[in-house]
Structure 1
Amino acid sequence: MADKVLIVDDDPSICKLLEKVMHSNDLETDTAGSGTKALERLKHHTYDVILMDIMLGDMEGFEVIQHLREDGIQTPVMIVSGRNEDYDSIYGLSIGADDYITKPFRPVVLGAKVKALIRRTKNMMASQSSLLECGPFTYDSSTMRFYKDGEELILSSKESALLLLFIKHPGQIYTKDMIYEQVWGTTVAIDDNAIMVYINRLRGKIEKDRQKPAHIITVRGVGYRFVP
């Protein structure tokens, strides 16, 4: 299936030109002649890139971008505008645009930029899919490394298995039997002391104060609960 581009411009001749450039790069297109129409389309359709003019009939393209980002829509946006002031490009990028190109543009350059933006976004999404995030904690399955607030945690294999169990199931109460089965792989000859030793070691590495844990909470008489 071809990648799809939404063209947002109130000038029909520019829309036709942009459609032609996109089609020549094997990209499908939709068009919206106003900011309102663009926002409405994006409620019901997904796109790989949005080409956004700044000067629209009903609002500025900047406003459209702000609405998108506030709504959690992370589709990459390339501003295509006749305004070539540095302020416009800097402001556009600061509110969530991913690239800025001025009119008149060279069709071959625009096509290459759009395809590069799509490729970069897809690669980023693929790399992020290996990340498991839970509060301040991140686990990168591709490297089997853990991080808290961006800082790597140096953990043993048992500590890693414990933390992975917890961040996969935040809020769930785990009995010692359940922990021993998940981390040690058996329910035979459960060693309560071993569990407590590793819980304390893990607390020492992820808690600000292991004596007053904020993440690994003891549920008296039952087991432990993880609060991210």
Structure 2
Amino acid sequence: MKKRILYVEDDNTLAFLTADNLEQYYEVVHFTNGKDAFDAFKKEDYDLCILDVMLPQMDGFELAAAIRAINIEVPIIFLSAKTLKEDRIKGLKLGADDYLVKPYSIEELILKIEVFLQRSQKQPTIKNNTCTVGSFTFDPDNYVVIKNGESTQLTERESALLKLFIDNKNTILKREKILTELWGTDDYFMGRSMDVFISRLRKIFREDESIRIENIPRIGFKLIAP
């Protein structure tokens, strides 16, 4: 059965060309505004979302935030003509998995779709994988960290990044290793995405002084934790 993609783009010509290519591999449900797309998302299941940023009625950033409020797992890819670094960072902070700038290649888009779909298809293990990080408990299967009974929900990408750090605790992780393992590629813009997620993890753990994610200049990062 084909995977189902929610595609939101108000440029009908671009939407036709993109959907026409994607429909060779996926079931594509296209909407021209954010409000109709969100109404559909609440009623039906989708395996991945592709969102333009500049949309009528509800823009892509608002739509992504609304989707994340009810589903933290579905992969979200932004396709946008907005090239400012601040726009990319805003999209990633909202929980998007990637941000491609128009014009983009269909080949690159399909490659990214496949990477995210394969990750989201991984079957959870039956055993309890929770572990402790300082005064926090981390549950990678449910994308959550807990301290004193209070839970902080992570995105799938944040959870995968934290799991990689914990598996290599007190050891330097090279930037290229992190990028290749979690993003499938080592390039500048994926590096910027990684920096956003690391900043978010630092904020979560700042209440515990025994936990630090150190920046190792020109090499990578190291999780310092008991």
Interval containing the TM-score (normalised by the shorter chain) = 0.5 to 0.7
- Look up the match of 2:18: 18
Alignment of 1:94-109 (within 5 A): 94-109=93-108
Once the two structures are TM-superposed, the CA of residue 72 in structure 1 deviates from its matched residue by: 3.4
Matched residue SS, 1:46: coil
Cα distance in 2 for residues equivalent to 1:36 and 1:16: 20
- Look up the match of 2:45: 46
- Map Cα deviations across residues 63-98 of structure 1 (whole Å, 9 max, x no partner): 001111122353211001111111111110111111
1:7–1:29: 8 Å Cα contact kept in structure 2? yes
1:21–1:111: 8 Å Cα contact kept in structure 2? no
Cα distance in 2 for residues equivalent to 1:100 and 1:111: 13
Matched residue SS, 1:20: helix
Matched residue SS, 2:7: strand
- Percent of matched pairs sharing the same residue: 27
Cα distance in 2 for residues equivalent to 1:32 and 1:59: 12
Cα distance in 1 for residues equivalent to 2:34 and 2:51: 9
Question: Which one has a bigger Cα radius of gyration?
Answer: 1
- Look up the match of 2:61: 62
Matched residue SS, 2:77: strand
Once the two structures are TM-superposed, the CA of residue 100 in structure 1 deviates from its matched residue by: 0.7
- Look up the match of 2:131: 147
Cα distance in 2 for residues equivalent to 1:100 and 1:51: 10
2:8–2:52: 8 Å Cα contact kept in structure 1? yes
Alignment of 1:203-218 (within 5 A): none
- Look up the match of 1:177: none
Matched residue SS, 2:23: helix
**Where in structure 2 are there 5+ consecutive unaligned residues?**
140-226
RMSD, matched Cα: 2.0
- Look up the match of 2:9: 9
Which amino acid is 2:131 matched to? Y
Cα distance in 2 for residues equivalent to 1:45 and 1:95: 22
1:7–1:18: 8 Å Cα contact kept in structure 2? no
Cα distance in 1 for residues equivalent to 2:107 and 2:113: 10
Once the two structures are TM-superposed, the CA of residue 151 in structure 1 deviates from its matched residue by: 7.4
**Where in structure 1 are there 5+ consecutive unaligned residues?**
132-138, 141-145, 153-228
Which amino acid is 1:94 matched to? K
Which amino acid is 1:53 matched to? D
Cα distance in 1 for residues equivalent to 2:39 and 2:72: 13
- Alignment coverage as a number of residue pairs: 136
Alignment of 1:1-228 (within 5 A): 1-24=1-24, 26-72=25-71, 74-123=73-122, 126-127=123-124, 129-130=125-126, 139-140=128-129, 147-148=131-132, 149-150=136-137
Cα distance in 1 for residues equivalent to 2:107 and 2:78: 16
